Amino acid sequence: MKVGIGYGNHEDSYELGRRTASEAMRQGTITTPDLVLAFLTKQSDAEAFYNGLRAVVGASAPIIGGSAVGVITNDQLSYNGSPAGVAVLQLNTVHIQYATATGVDQNEYQAGRSLAHQLAASLDAKLLLMFYDSIKVPATPDAPPMMNASPPLIAGIESVLPPGIPIVGAGLLGDQIFSSTIQFGGLSIQQQVVVGVLLSGAIEPYVTITHGCSLKDGIYHTITKMHGPVIVEIDGRPATAVIDEEYGGPIWREQLPVRRLTIGVNHGDRFGDFQEGQMVARLIVGAMPGDKGLILFEPDLEEGTEFQFLLRDGQTMIESARRNATALVKQIITAGHTPRFALYIDCTGRCAEISNTLTEEASEIQIAMNQHGVPLLGFYSGVEIAPLLGRSRGLDWTGVLLVLAEA
């Protein structure tokens, strides 16, 4: 496998696509591009950018990716201006199939099944790389956004594909105000779709999740009333009133999403020591108009769910990124494999501008990959998808590091 990475930050979207693709081809000494991963921000014209890519990589190589709040490479990290990042892969002994399914905003489960039916999974399938639009209905001045849900989408895929194939990917996000998104679906630009790339052959995927939350007080609370993605009552009380108390006032209502406080569901020992790797965090997007409840980024909780409030901890987040990235590379090398390409899917809320940290946690990923010469492409997302405790899950406020390695 050969991989080249390109980065650019240019107002001319066509030139941005052409230059980033050219840099990636040159850096990776690519002669035959087999797969292109490309991410750009809302400031760029997606069609012009796509045409710039095509001018370099040709008409047949599938281009996968789309909207991102910012991009990360081995030596660049930006969510200001018009940044874009591209990875061009020449796969050789690695085989791919890709497909696109529409109607995510109509029925996530059926869209997942449709995607999986188009992918003829081989016996040695190693990984499904999957992207979808996070935004079902964009935010307005009067209402928070409505989100497409990852749990039914993943369930639809898993109802068709053979068991045991890990799913890694993201719900794409275009900006920090939850506007609409676009996707590159292989040979086209689309919206409200799910795109999947199934990899098989001489490749081994390694995945780790970086976290960064701490328990607020350890007290369990119960969702006592819920409608879809909206928590109406917690412990029999209006959910917004509970958050007012936990946050120390109503200022959280001005944040989109709520910056400091999040909801954590413990999938480990209920009364054991806190282990962030056993918690699934759910971001609070904001308050419903009229204080009718809390809208969550993922609508997978239900009445009766017990949870604990978590605090997003900037220093813990940075330490987690450093520790997990270093351990993953060590695991790969110990297994006798060679890391060829790293993809870092990072929650938008983890960037320094939102997390109020002095340094970027993604710089820890850059350091770990650069120490071993691993080409890196990353982007800021809405939802991160990765295996956790034996199941592929949609995650919030995490970083998912995927490394493709060869024996």
For residue 2, what are the CA distances in angstroms to 62, 267, 296, 378? 16, 39, 40, 17
In the predicted structure, residue 107 carries a pLDDT above the cut 90: yes
Q: Where is pLDDT greater, at 165 or 358?
A: 165
Identity (one letter) of the amino acid at 315? Q
pLDDT computed for residue 10 by the predictor:
93
- Over residues 292-328, the pLDDT tens digits come to 899 888 878 899 999 999 998 888 899 999 999 999 9
In the predicted structure, residue 333 carries a pLDDT above the cut 70: yes
In the predicted structure, residue 256 carries a pLDDT above the cut 80: no
Whether 250 and 170 share a structural domain? no
The pLDDT-based confidence of 281 (bands split at 50, 70, 90) is confident
pTM of the entire structure? 0.93
> Where a domain ends, among 312, 327, 353?
312
Q: Which residues 6+ apart lie within 8 Å of 369 measured at CB?
A: 74, 325, 329, 339, 342, 375, 376
Q: Where is pLDDT greater, at 353 or 233?
A: 233
In the predicted structure, residue 144 carries a pLDDT above the cut 80: no
CA dihedral over 57, 343, 65, 354, signed as positive or negative: negative
Whether 288 and 338 share a structural domain? no
**CA separation for the pair 279, 281 (Å, rounded):** 6
- Contact status, residue 111 vs residue 103, Cβ threshold 8 Å: yes
308 bridge partner residues: 220, 264
CA nearest to 351, candidates 341, 368, 335, 363: 363
Whether 322 and 308 share a structural domain? no
Whether 197 and 260 share a structural domain? no
Whether 197 and 334 share a structural domain? yes
Whether 52 and 145 share a structural domain? yes
For residue 50, what are the CA distances in angstroms to 38, 86, 236, 382? 9, 11, 51, 22
Whether 50 and 95 share a structural domain? yes
CA dihedral over 354, 359, 361, 365, signed as positive or negative: positive
In the chain, the percentage of residues whose pLDDT exceeds 70 is 99
**CA separation for the pair 14, 45 (Å, rounded):** 8
> Where a domain ends, among 312, 344, 361?
312
Domain count, the chain: 2
pLDDT computed for residue 299 by the predictor:
78
Whether 234 and 305 share a structural domain? yes
pLDDT computed for residue 135 by the predictor:
93
Whether 202 and 64 share a structural domain? yes
Whether 205 and 217 share a structural domain? no
The pLDDT-based confidence of 123 (bands split at 50, 70, 90) is low
For range 190-218, the mean pLDDT: 94
Q: Which domain holds residue 145?
A: 2-209+318-406
Whether 159 and 183 share a structural domain? yes
- Which of 331-339's residues contact partners 24+ apart within 8 Å by CB, and which partners? 331/206, 332/206, 332/403, 332/405, 333/372, 335/204, 335/405, 336/407, 337/204, 337/206, 337/405, 337/406, 337/407, 338/405, 338/406, 338/407, 339/206, 339/369, 339/372, 339/374, 339/403, 339/404, 339/405
**CA separation for the pair 211, 155 (Å, rounded):** 24
**CA separation for the pair 69, 65 (Å, rounded):** 12
Whether 160 and 300 share a structural domain? no
pLDDT computed for residue 397 by the predictor:
86
- Over residues 154-200, the pLDDT tens digits come to 999 999 999 889 999 999 999 988 899 999 999 999 999 999 999 99
For range 207-217, the mean pLDDT: 90
Lowest-pLDDT choice from 37-51, 79-93, 214-228, 284-298:
284-298
- Contact status, residue 49 vs residue 17, Cβ threshold 8 Å: yes
**CA separation for the pair 80, 258 (Å, rounded):** 21
> Where a domain ends, among 278, 312, 346?
312
- Over residues 15-50, the pLDDT tens digits come to 999 999 999 999 999 999 999 999 999 999 999 999
